[in-house]
Chain A
Amino acid sequence: MNALEIRHLTLHVGEKCVLNDFSLSIPKGEIHVLMGKNGRGKSSLAKAIVGYPDYHVTGGEIVFNGENMVQLPPEERAQRGIFLAHQNPVAIPGVSVSTFIRAAMNAQQKKMTTVAFYELLHGHMDRLGLRREFSARAINDGFSGGEKKRCEVLQMLMLRPSFAILDEIDSGLDIDALKIVAENIKSLYSSDFSALVITHYQRLLDHIAPHKVHILEDGKITLSGGPEIVQELEKKGYAFLFDREELAPE
Chain B
Amino acid sequence: MKTSDASSENFHFDMSYPFDAGIGLNPTTVAYISDVKGEDPWLRAFRLQALETFLATPMPRNLEPYGIQNLDFHKIRYYLANNQVPSRSWEDVPLEIKTTFDRLGIPEREHRFLAGVEAQFDSEAAYNRMQDVLAQKGVIFVDSTVGLKKYSQIFRQYFASLVPIGNNKFSALNAAVFSGGSFIYVPKGVKVKQPLQAYFRINAESFGQFERTLIVVDEDAELTYMEGCTAPRFETATLHSAVVEVIALKNAKVQYITVQNWSNNVYNLVTKRSIAHENAQIRWIDCNIGSKLTVKYPSILLAGEGASGEILSIALASDQQIQRTGAKVIHLASNTTSNIVSKSISKGNGLASYHGLVHVDPKLKNCRNNSQCDALLIDGASHSDTYPKIDIHGAGHHIQHEAKVSKIDEERLLYLQQRGIDPWQATSLCVNGFVNELIREFPLEYSVELKRLIDFEMHPKK
Chain A residues lying within 8 Å of B437, measured Cβ to Cβ, are 94
Count of interface residues, chain A, beta-carbon cutoff 8 Å? 28
Once A92-B429, A95-B433 are accepted as A-B contacts, the answer to whether A78 and B422 lie under 8 Å apart by CB is: no
Q: Are A95 and B429 in contact (CB under 8 A)?
A: yes
Once A90-B412, A103-B425, A107-B425 are accepted as A-B contacts, the answer to whether A95 and B418 lie under 8 Å apart by CB is: no
Chain A residues lying within 8 Å of B416, measured Cβ to Cβ, are 92, 100, 103-104
Q: Which residue from A52, A53, A92 sits with its C-beta under 8 Å from B433? A: A92
Q: Which residue from A90, A93, A159 sits with its C-beta under 8 Å from B415? A: A90
Chain A residues lying within 8 Å of B433, measured Cβ to Cβ, are 92-95, 138
Once A93-B434, A94-B434 are accepted as A-B contacts, the answer to whether A50 and B429 lie under 8 Å apart by CB is: no
Of residues 88 to 102 in A, which have CB atoms within 8 Å of B's CB atoms?
Answer: 89-95, 99-100
Query: Chain A's nearest CB lies how many Å from the CB of B195?
Result: 25
Q: Which residue from A53, A73, A104, A138 sits with its C-beta under 8 Å from B419? A: A104
B110 at the interface (CB under 8 A from A): no
Query: Chain A's nearest CB lies how many Å from the CB of B372?
Result: 14
CA distance A74 to B421 in the complex (A): 9
Chain B residues lying within 8 Å of A100, measured Cβ to Cβ, are 416, 419, 429
CA distance A93 to B406 in the complex (A): 13
CA distance A108 to B421 in the complex (A): 8
Q: Are B418 and A103 in contact (CB under 8 A)?
A: no
Once A94-B437, A95-B436 are accepted as A-B contacts, the answer to whether A50 and B430 lie under 8 Å apart by CB is: no
B349 at the interface (CB under 8 A from A): no
CA distance A91 to B433 in the complex (A): 11
Query: Chain B's nearest CB lies how many Å from the CB of A161?
Result: 10
What is the 8 Å Cβ interface bit string for chain B, positions 86-125, against chain A (1 contact, 0 not)? 0000000000000000000000000000000000000000
Chain B residues lying within 8 Å of A86, measured Cβ to Cβ, are 415
Q: Which secondary structure characterizes the binding site on chain B?
A: helix
A192 at the interface (CB under 8 A from B): no
Query: Chain A's nearest CB lies how many Å from the CB of B459?
Result: 14
Query: Chain B's nearest CB lies how many Å from the CB of A46?
Result: 10
Query: Chain B's nearest CB lies how many Å from the CB of A169?
Result: 15
Chain B residues lying within 8 Å of A79, measured Cβ to Cβ, are 420
Q: Are B435 and A104 in contact (CB under 8 A)?
A: no
CA distance A159 to B419 in the complex (A): 9
CA distance A159 to B420 in the complex (A): 10
Q: Are B421 and A75 in contact (CB under 8 A)?
A: yes
A155 at the interface (CB under 8 A from B): yes
Instruction: Closest A residue to B438 by CB, please name it.
Output: A94
Q: Which residue from B412, B419, B423, B430 sits with its C-beta under 8 Å from A155? A: B419
CA distance A104 to B426 in the complex (A): 10
Of residues 22 to 39 in A, which have CB atoms within 8 Å of B's CB atoms?
Answer: none
Residue of A51, A86, A90, A108 with most partner-chain B CB within 10 A: A90
Given contacts A86-B415, A93-B436, 17 further A-B contacts (CB under 8 A): A50-B418, A74-B414, A75-B421, A78-B419, A78-B420, A79-B420, A94-B433, A94-B434, A94-B435, A95-B429, A95-B430, A100-B429, A103-B416, A103-B429, A104-B416, A104-B421, A107-B425
Question: A-B pairs with the 10 shortest C-beta distances?
Answer: A94-B433, A94-B436, A104-B419, A78-B420, A95-B433, A107-B420, A74-B417, A108-B420, A107-B421, A90-B411
Task: List residues of chain B with CB under 8 Å of any chain A CB.
Answer: 409, 411-412, 414-423, 425, 429-430, 432-437
Q: 21 A–B contact pairs at CB < 8 A?
A: A51-B417, A52-B418, A73-B417, A73-B423, A74-B414, A74-B418, A75-B417, A75-B422, A75-B423, A78-B419, A79-B420, A86-B415, A90-B411, A90-B412, A90-B415, A92-B429, A103-B416, A107-B420, A155-B419, A159-B419, A159-B420
